[in-house]
Structure 1
């Protein structure tokens, strides 16, 4: 029974091929590709809108193209998508008070780690005996 059902499911999914959008000129195509590379797929999370094969990514690509053809600028298209899906849709979120932790958090952690390592090294170096002390003179070598 499974031998009959599985090939049918595979064929049904193969028919859902994504058709690429048709561009009016090369400038529109370049702008579209640049814009979709800067936007994140809301389902895949680690892929750009251009790279994702998810159904929602296809819908968003068509929506981006539609907004472009309505005369919207890149900033307006991004603002529209951010209003609908949040800052997450941008690969490079804006530097705002709500995203300071995202932008500056790694640098703060790196600096804190550097101070911790420096403190550990200072404590260990303070515990080492000083060269030329009485103990070293008692050594035969």
Structure 2
């Protein structure tokens, strides 16, 4: 039995998804924003080093405003994450299945997305809490 990234390689997977939920649970925490972005990046680094497959990281909310998001994306790039998810909820976020989520204003979200796209080497996948979908 190997590590999950190695198992994904062995069954012919195309990429490894490193979720915020998975990283939080690996640290013994619920996925409610208790880990710092530094801790998330550290775990992503270990995951990237454990596989030859591209790793898709979960940036959650990017830990705040556009500047926080850019710093998170720079760190994701530095450790070799191939792509990432970015949510439109305010920090700290709630599970997408629960009521009472707060999403950032449309203009703020647009600014976060544009900044990431302009200043990073890759595009992004956006997750919307507006619809309540996972």
User: Greater CA radius of gyration, 1 or 2?
Assistant: 1
Q: TM-score, normalised by structure 2?
A: 0.20
Bigger fraction of residues in strand: 2
